[in-house]
Amino acid sequence: MSKIYEKLTSCLESVRKVSDFQPETALVLGSGLGDYADDIRIEAAVDYSQIEGFPRSTVAGHKGRFVFGYVREVPVVIMQGRVHYYEGYPMADVVLPVRLMGMLGAKKLILTNAAGAANYDYRPGDFMLIKDHIASSVPSPLIGQNIDELGVRFPDMSEVYSSRMRRIARAAAEELGITLREGVYMQLTGPAYETPAEVNMCRVLGADSLGMSTACEAMAARHMGMEICGISCITNLAAGMSVEPLDHREVQEMADRVSEQFKALVTEVICRI
């Protein structure tokens, strides 16, 4: 058995000591959605610190816990606080929480994040449904001995983000009167924001939005057969596209400003998928 799978099974045991809740859908909260779990019917919560060997988010404003509960009637597990590659964890640890949610029984996964626009048509405050991603500038989370218990060595990635779920998300956004773009998300390592030349490179390569998370989580989840929906909150124009320098606080402020819309959209998506 691979070391990573051993760690996953021991983390699973730690969680199961606290709760036997059976989630259908897993949700990862990005910036702007941090308090989403406060509004749901909570059945149980497990702090990451209660799980031996679990990576802890070091980013200010990111709580670290799994919340189990119901969004309307849908049983969910929510990751309140994710781990980023730039925090210094190996990729296997970065994707461990998402894998664990799959092992807890969630077959569907909603990934959310804050992202910068590389596409000149996008505006801060827009939402973007992730159609596909470019993850080639970060190490693959699947490198190393394959975890046969989770998936195959050479998994297909031709539809990481479910077209079925995208259809549902588009319809939900339209009914809510929310503008939802659809595009390609590119994950970079961070923690520095990109240079203007790098932003140009990403755009030439086909990226519409840029961020420091999500694609690696989607790969690990797809490897284990989860059906995935990804939504970005566009918080800023990427470097060089406006005269303003980038500031993490402004990114957070924009995410907070549109958080009610973001929450409404995510709730509808959870209930309809």
Of the residues 32, 34, 81, 211, which one makes contact with ligand HPA according to CB under 6 A? 211
Q: Find the shortest distance in angstroms from Cβ 195 to ligand HPA.
A: 11
Is residue 183 a contact residue for ligand HPA (CB under 6 A)?
A: no
* 3-state secondary structure at position 221: helix
Q: Which of 160, 133, 128, 134 is nearest to 224 (CA)?
A: 160
The answer to whether the beta carbons of residues 66 and 80 sit under 8 Å apart is: yes
Specify whether 101 is catalytic.
no
Q: Which tokens hold the place of 55?
A: 């990576």
Name the catalytic one among 36, 62, 198, 239: 62
DSSP string, 43-105: EEEEEGGGSTT-----STT---EEEEEEETTEEEEEEES---GGGT--HHHHTHHHHHHHHTT
Contact set for ligand HPA, span 105-164 (CB under 6 A): 114-116
Of the residues 77, 251, 258, 269, which one makes contact with ligand HPA according to CB under 6 A? 251
CB nearer to ligand HPA: give 132 or 194. 194
Count of residues of this chain found to bind ligand HPA when the rule CB under 6 A is applied: 13
Is residue 212 a contact residue for ligand HPA (CB under 6 A)?
A: yes
Quote the CA–CA distance of 153 and 146 in Å, as a whole number: 6
Specify whether 114 is catalytic.
yes
The answer to whether the beta carbons of residues 237 and 116 sit under 8 Å apart is: yes
CB nearer to ligand HPA: give 91 or 251. 251
Q: Which tokens hold the place of 258?
A: 């549109």
What is the binding site for ligand HPA (CB under 6 A)? 114-116, 193-194, 210-212, 235-236, 238, 246, 251
- Residues annotated as catalytic (active site), given as ranges: 31, 62, 84, 86-87, 114, 212-213, 236, 248
